């Protein structure tokens, strides 16, 4: 009973980063190191970095050329930061080299010993044509992952995802059923989709799973000088709004609008038990009905198709 009481009152101090990465990998590394220093000085246990923290170039080909293996020199340097500053670090989206033409968008969890403890490779790829907005085809240079990752760490049970995954609630439901307490959703959301959907989707994922959400984010215009000098296109711009959300859906900490920096908060993991007990939605799920309805629709479609061919 004493152990259960202790687990209900675990408090974890976390930091979520908002940054404006560029094609200058060394400059990005220095920014991350400054976040590590600040996190250590604030007593943070878990630091979360956004998607593309190490590199954000002008296009797909630059990402492929930049990409490295996870045991390569750059990720090894980043792992050393975790050890030097005694932090768990969520590296929220690294261009992992897979082939000459493809990368994986890898979310890497590293321990305070500098060891990679889990790797999630993004399964939902961002292939979109936003009305009056950007066109993007992540699948043209990215190989999707095929595993759901829930990382059990001393700072909490972490549901590990990346950016566009946010739009697929089934994934987060699975993570909750795997035992997740904290959902990690690092991103480089576009300005247009961010304004419309970022905050409401994050809060929805927190509410429906009754988990904390840590959403590190890219912000602002990336490589503005290079775009001016080398292209006729406007620079890529990310929405930002890095934030921390509790299991009730309340935003408990939020980054300064438009500026890089850290958002720091304490998570009382005891709140999970309180909310999940008072509103036990997980036990109210009816998968028997959901899946039966899906099967009925499938049979109806098959029957209609069969009649059409007669």
| Tens digit of each residue's pLDDT (9 = 90 or more) over 143-189 | 999 999 999 999 999 999 999 999 999 999 999 999 999 999 999 99
Cβ pair 49, 17 in contact under 8 A: yes
Average pLDDT over residues 1-30: 82
Residue 138 falls in the annotated catalytic set: no
Tokens of residue 257, six digits? 């609008």
Residue 4 falls in the annotated catalytic set: no
What pLDDT sits at residue 9? 66
Residue 83 falls in the annotated catalytic set: no
3-state helix, strand and coil shares in percent for the chain, rounded to the nearest 5: 40, 30, 35
Tokens of residue 283, six digits? 């036990």
Beta bridge partners of 268: 11
Per the rule left: phi > 0, alpha: psi between -120 and 50, beta: everything else, 250 is: beta
Dist. CA 156–CA 45, nearest whole Å: 10
Beta bridge partners of 176: none
The per-residue DSSP string of 83-126 comes to HHTT-EEEEEEEEEE-SSS-EEEEEEEE-TTS-EEEEEE--S--
What are the angstrom distances between the C-alpha of 64 and each of 58, 95, 271, 291? 11, 8, 42, 40
Pick the catalytic residue: 36, 122, 138, 243?
122
Pick the catalytic residue: 36, 104, 163, 243?
163
What pLDDT sits at residue 46? 98
| Residue 38: count of CB within 10 angstroms of its CB | 17
Cβ pair 172, 282 in contact under 8 A: no
Gyration radius of the chain over CA positions: 20
Pick the catalytic residue: 36, 51, 138, 157?
51
pTM recorded for the entire structure: 0.92
Reply yes or no on whether the pLDDT at 298 is more than 80.
Answer: no
Reply yes or no on whether the pLDDT at 142 is more than 60.
Answer: yes
Reply yes or no on whether the pLDDT at 75 is more than 70.
Answer: yes
Closest listed residue to residue 95, CA positions, set 72, 68, 132: 68
pLDDT-derived band at 3 (thresholds 50, 70, 90) equals very low
Q: Is 136 strand, coil or helix?
A: strand
Beta carbons within 8 Å of 274's beta carbon, 6+ residues apart? 8
Q: Which helix (H) or strand (E) holds 295?
A: helix 287-309
What pLDDT sits at residue 305? 46
Question: Which of the 8 DSSP states describes residue 14?
Answer: E
CA–chain centroid gap for 56, Å, is 16
Beta carbons within 8 Å of 299's beta carbon, 6+ residues apart? none
Cβ pair 172, 209 in contact under 8 A: yes
Number of H helices, E strands in the chain: 11, 16
pLDDT-derived band at 294 (thresholds 50, 70, 90) equals confident
Reply yes or no on whether the pLDDT at 5 is more than 70.
Answer: no
What pLDDT sits at residue 99? 85
Dist. CA 279–CA 160, nearest whole Å: 24
Reply yes or no on whether the pLDDT at 303 is more than 60.
Answer: no
Average pLDDT value over all residues in the chain: 92
Beta carbons within 8 Å of 92's beta carbon, 6+ residues apart? 48, 49, 50, 51, 53, 107, 162, 184, 186, 187, 216
Dist. CA 92–CA 187, nearest whole Å: 8
Q: What's the number of CA atoms in the CB half-sphere (13 Å) around residue 53?
A: 32
pLDDT-derived band at 136 (thresholds 50, 70, 90) equals confident
């Amino acid at each position: 009973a004493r152990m259960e009481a202790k687990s209900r009152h675990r408090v974890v101090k976390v930091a979520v980063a908002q940054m404006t990465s560029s094609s200058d990998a060394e400059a990005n590394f220095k920014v991350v190191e400054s976040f590590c220093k600040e996190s250590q000085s604030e007593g943070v246990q878990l630091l979360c970095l956004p998607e593309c923290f190490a590199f954000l170039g002008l296009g797909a080909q630059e990402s492929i050329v930049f990409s490295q293996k996870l045991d390569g020199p750059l990720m090894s340097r980043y792992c050393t930061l975790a050890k030097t500053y005694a932090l768990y670090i969520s590296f929220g989206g690294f261009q992992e080299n897979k082939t000459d033409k493809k990368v994986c968008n890898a979310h890497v969890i590293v321990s305070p010993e500098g060891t990679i403890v889990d790797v999630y490779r993004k399964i939902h790829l961002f292939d979109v044509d936003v009305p009056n907005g950007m066109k993007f085809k992540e699948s043209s240079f990215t190989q999707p992952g095929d595993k759901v990752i829930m990382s059990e760490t001393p700072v909490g049970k972490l549901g590990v995802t990346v950016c566009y995954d946010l739009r697929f609630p089934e994934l987060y439901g699975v993570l909750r059923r795997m035992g997740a307490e904290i959902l990690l959703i690092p991103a480089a959301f576009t300005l247009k989709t961010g304004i419309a959907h970022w905050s409401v989707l994050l809060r929805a994922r927190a509410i429906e799973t009754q988990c904390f959400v840590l959403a590190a984010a890219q912000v602002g215009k990336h490589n503005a000088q290079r775009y001016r000098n080398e292209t006729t296109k406007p620079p890529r711009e990310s929405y930002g709004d890095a934030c921390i959300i509790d299991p009730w859906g309340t935003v408990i900490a939020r980054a300064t609008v438009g500026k890089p920096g850290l958002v720091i908060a304490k998570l009382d993991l005891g709140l999970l038990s309180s909310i999940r007990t008072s509103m036990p939605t997980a036990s109210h799920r009816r998968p028997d009905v959901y899946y039966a309805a899906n099967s009925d629709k499938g049979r109806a479609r098959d029957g209609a198709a069969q009649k059409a061919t007669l």
